[in-house]
Amino acid sequence: MMTPNWLTELLESVRQGQISTEEAAERLRHLPFEDLGFAVVDHHRHLRQGCPEVVFCANKRVEDSLAIIRSLRQRGAPVLATRANVELYGRVREFYPDAVFHDRSGAITVPGPDPAPTPVGNVLVICAGTSDLPVAEEAAVTARFLGSNVREASDVGVAGIHRLFQRLPLLKEANVIIVVAGMEGALASVVGGLVDVPVIAVPTSIGYGAHFGGLAALLGMLNSCSAGVMVVNIDNGFGAGYAAHRINAGRRPPVPDD
């Protein structure tokens, strides 16, 4: 996996004569990308963005997703695959027994060969109802995979607002808060009015007929009267988790004790 440290170490090894230029060129052969025929895997992404390519598995054949996962993992990258299924997880486990399947969201994580860095900061993921948990889990898994310390609170929607107030200490300790809600999406505005940190709202496709597959929650969140509320696409837990980590990692305060 091409990280800034990896590239610096490789160039230093060449400078000191520890490896030949031919060997260095061979190590760089599949960078910045690898053409698998049906997919072009971006091995340069970690160097550019600080995170390896993430595999979106929806509408892909199991064999195609598996090939992309193996390509990334063979280059030393940890792997996050989203919107996967049990069949793909079974195939991944044949090669990487330490892979983990997060069954609510359908995410698969495969650790890399190097120890994971110590988590930084505090990202809080909260969801309005139990039906929103699959999207909330995708957000939490993503932010945790990228290196954030993540806490979670579920079923704290506005229909029983006292449940949210019980979690006020968690809200006050967070650097970034992801709010996942369906129906009318009101929870994002409530949270946004209680805290002084960025709030990332995720509308979900949960609700009755006039909910329009998440459009009602999306419009409600976009029209929030609480300042500092940002909105991602419907059911986009991954996008929220990725954005939250970037904000959180930029601040890098110490992780408080439990």
- pTM of the entire structure? 0.84
Q: Cα-flanking dihedrals φ and ψ of residue 91, to 5°?
A: -70, -40
Structure confidence at residue 50 (pLDDT): 75
Q: Cα–Cα distance between 125 and 171 in angstroms, integer?
A: 10
Strands 40-42 and 33-35: antiparallel
148-153: strand order across its sheet: 148-153, 120-127, 176-181, 199-203, 229-231
Lowest mean pLDDT among 113-117, 190-194, 209-213: 113-117
Mean pLDDT for the chain? 88
56 pLDDT higher than 50 = yes
pLDDT band at 235; cut points 50, 70, 90: very high
Structure confidence at residue 2 (pLDDT): 57
Q: Cα–Cα distance between 215 and 205 in angstroms, integer?
A: 8
Tokens of 80: 């996050």
Q: Cα–Cα distance between 65 and 55 in angstroms, integer?
A: 7
Structure confidence at residue 30 (pLDDT): 57
Closest CA to 179 of 224, 121, 113: 224
Share of the chain above pLDDT 70, in %: 90
Structure confidence at residue 201 (pLDDT): 98
Query: Which of 26-30, 48-52, 119-123 has maximum average pLDDT?
Result: 119-123
Where in the sequence of the chain do the CATH 3.40.50.1970 domains occur? 120-251
User: What CATH class does 120-251 carry?
Assistant: alpha beta
Averaged over 182-194, what is the pLDDT?
94
